[in-house]
Amino acid sequence: MYSDLKQALLDLEKAGMLKRIHQEVDPYLEMAEIARQAFDCGGPALLFEKVKGSRFPAAANIFGTQERLDFLFRDTLESTQTAVLFKSNPVEFFKKPSPARLFNAATAGIRALPKKSGSIKDFEECSLADLPQVVCWPEDGGAFITLPQVATRPSESASILQTNVGMYRIQLSGNDYAAADPTKGTDAECGLHYQIKRDIARHHEKAIEEGRPLKVSIFIGGAPAHTIAAVMPMPENLSELVFAGMLAGRRFRYFIHDGYVISSDADFCILGEVAPDLKPEGPFGDHVGYYSGKHPFPYLKVKKVLCKKDAIYPFTVVGRPPKEDTLFGKFIHQITRPMVPASIPGVHAVHAVDAAGVHPLCLALGSERFRPYASRAEREPMELLKTANALLGFNQVSLSKYLMLAAKEDNPNLDVCDVPAFFEHILERIDFKRDLHFQTSTTIDTLDYTGTSLNHGSKLVIVAAGEKRRLLRNFEADLATLKLPEGFTAVKNVMNGVIAVEGAGDIQKLSNELDHWPFKENYPWVSIVTNLNEIQNIDDFLWVTFTRSDPAQDVHGLNEQVANKHWSIDAPMIVDARIKPRHQKILNVPPQVKTRAKEILKAAGIGGIT
């Protein structure tokens, strides 16, 4: 049970899971690249003892391996899982009752209650400029806090159990944000970027309706469980502080100061009010693997910045998956696995595919029981459509762009985490005249730039149930028989039933050639890409296809028809996943920064960097 970040880092060091970087490091690009390379080679957590321009040490890659996550939460993970199972599915919980299980659930429940403790005297004052100004990517709009715990309440008099804590990136510098000016009595400012479908919006809306500024507390550091809690998809009106206490094995300590909630164990606390207007925020190199652009977002008028005497500044680096936040997702799924089936009857498993950027692609396993009397040949997706609508209204799954849904009855052993097998199952069974269901002109993830404008785009639900309709193939010899029209230069197999075609040619001309291809039914998925060299494996295919296509604009097929407003095609389905002018830039780092980072890691005795 860790009371703060320093205690956890010392424990990691004692276990040989943390290395110190003794030499001074530059927070502009260098620190982030060091952290990226350490993660990529499965390296240790890092403690930067000397950060250029800041008096505070910094830590990165804290959660960068499953081994470290298991170690950090070795004493509390089981009891937390037990409590989540009890909350989400009491019937399942009591199928295997035992004194130990009941004790674990009860203990976790007690730890879940926040505890009033500490005071403002436990902190010193500092400024935003004192924090390590970590800039992760060359075209970022400034320095960002990448592991913030952003806490709000619906009102100053609200119960602590009504506190929402989320991880919304905070821009520390750049753009039009003002620095504090004591001579003029003006406050410092920082950007507050929250995406759609975030619970802070409810509190912000209430404050606007009541004509008052929303008070926001930003915690940095503290017990590692507090950071995990900030990305936990808690049910609405159930505070993340409850989960923070359970996972930490120690009740969340807090006190109230001038209407602000302050985490007693945090290393830093930034207190501020949301301004009545908006200011440009970004760009920022995001977890999808591209920059998110500069757009108007809320920002804070900072009233106070607090720090502990021995504060350590934790940060993470996001980019094209996998990165450290990939481990966050897997760890949270490990805990919350029982919640989705309990919340949506008929759902057995859900997998937001990390390699595809998380929200762009979701695979789900449901049930098809509406017509148990139907023969196998007559079975079709019916209950699955109901389930798809429920999933697109559920928590963060609602941000899915492509949702692929299969029936467990067709293959009880189908695993949503086995992407090639899941694709094969769907493509063998899909009826392209019936099983493609679009939502056009709808809301999409804020970080997805494939749509028509920020937060606007489309979704595609792909469902399949019943007998196999086609045999999938995966042979190089088949591709030699496909005549590529002008503008298309190469084709390659990706996996069973899936090919990728390179070129800038006309899609209709490619469609015409595919229509004459004898193997068109055996390869029902065709992705058109800008450069085939980008696709060296299935993860590359997933990233390119689903982060560079908007269903309504970019999905095509043979013999396209619309009947009763339903769009249908003949196989194959063609997805235009080429780079387009509306897309954002891919994230890259200058070679000299990579070389410098490698040298620093080598000097610290961290090998295996490639």
- Is 108 within a domain? yes
Q: How confident is the model at residue 608 (pLDDT cuts 50, 70, 90)?
A: low
Is-contact 479 506, C-beta < 8 A? no
- Is 590 within a domain? no
Rounded to whole angstroms, the Cα distance separating 165 from 233 reads 10
Q: Is the pLDDT of residue 133 over 60?
A: yes
- Is 606 within a domain? no
Spatial neighbors of 200 by CB under 8 A, at least 6 apart, are 150, 152, 164, 166, 168, 194
Written as six digits, the tokens of 537 are 């494996």
Average pLDDT over residues 243-263: 95
pLDDT at 225: 96
**Four-CA torsion 239, 242, 247, 250, nearest 10 degrees:** 140
Q: How confident is the model at residue 1 (pLDDT cuts 50, 70, 90)?
A: confident
Residues 414 and 486 in one domain: no
Is-contact 5 222, C-beta < 8 A? yes
Residues 90 and 212 in one domain: yes
Which structural domain range is residue 407 located in?
325-464
pLDDT tens digits along 478-511? 999 999 999 999 999 999 999 999 999 999 999 9
Residues 223 and 107 in one domain: yes
The 8-class DSSP code of residue 251 comes to P
Lowest mean pLDDT among 91-95, 214-218, 323-327: 91-95
Q: Which residue has the tokens 């293959």?
A: 411
Residues 430 and 501 in one domain: no
Q: Is the pLDDT of residue 91 over 50?
A: no
Which of 464, 485, 513 is the last residue before a domain boundary? 464
CATH code of the domain containing 235: 2.30.110.10
Q: Which residue has the tokens 């507090």?
A: 226
Residues 396 and 482 in one domain: no
DSSP string, 177-242: PPPPBTTTTBPEEEEE---SS-THHHHHHHHHHTTSPPEEEEEE-SSHHHHHHHT--PPTTS-HHH
Q: Quote the number of domains for the chain.
A: 3
Rounded to whole angstroms, the Cα distance separating 197 from 394 reads 10
Residues 453 and 487 in one domain: no
Max CA-CA distance within the chain? 80
Q: Is the pLDDT of residue 93 over 60?
A: no
Greater model confidence, 572 or 183: 572
Residues 407 and 540 in one domain: no
Q: Is the pLDDT of residue 322 over 80?
A: yes
Residues 384 and 511 in one domain: no
Which of 411, 429, 464 is the last residue before a domain boundary? 464
**Four-CA torsion 447, 452, 453, 457, nearest 10 degrees:** -50
Residues 131 and 69 in one domain: yes
Residues 315 and 329 in one domain: no
Question: 319 vs 333, 343, 352, 516, CA distance in Å?
Answer: 20, 31, 17, 41
pLDDT at 166: 94
CATH code of the domain containing 539: 3.40.1670
Residues 279 and 332 in one domain: no
Mean confidence (pLDDT) of the chain = 93
Q: Is the pLDDT of residue 599 over 90?
A: yes
CA 140 to chain centre: 19
Q: What is the pTM of this model?
A: 0.93
Q: How confident is the model at residue 100 (pLDDT cuts 50, 70, 90)?
A: low
CATH code of the domain containing 440: 3.40.1670.10
Torsion sign, CA atoms 487, 493, 494, 497: positive
- Is 266 within a domain? yes
Rounded to whole angstroms, the Cα distance separating 214 from 222 reads 24
pLDDT at 94: 44
- Is 444 within a domain? yes
Average pLDDT over residues 514-535: 98
Q: How confident is the model at residue 14 (pLDDT cuts 50, 70, 90)?
A: very high
pLDDT at 187: 83
Residues 291 and 390 in one domain: no
- Is 594 within a domain? no
pLDDT at 341: 72
Is-contact 391 402, C-beta < 8 A? no
Q: Which residue has the tokens 């720090």?
A: 307
Q: Is the pLDDT of residue 335 over 90?
A: no
Is residue 300 within a helix (H) or strand (E), and if so which, with residue range? strand 299-307
pLDDT at 344: 87
- Is 436 within a domain? yes
Highest mean pLDDT among 9-18, 152-161, 200-209, 441-450 belongs to 9-18
Q: How confident is the model at residue 96 (pLDDT cuts 50, 70, 90)?
A: low
- Is 63 within a domain? yes
pLDDT more than 90, % of the chain: 84
Average pLDDT over residues 296-314: 97
Which of 408, 441, 464 is the last residue before a domain boundary? 464
Average pLDDT over residues 66-72: 97
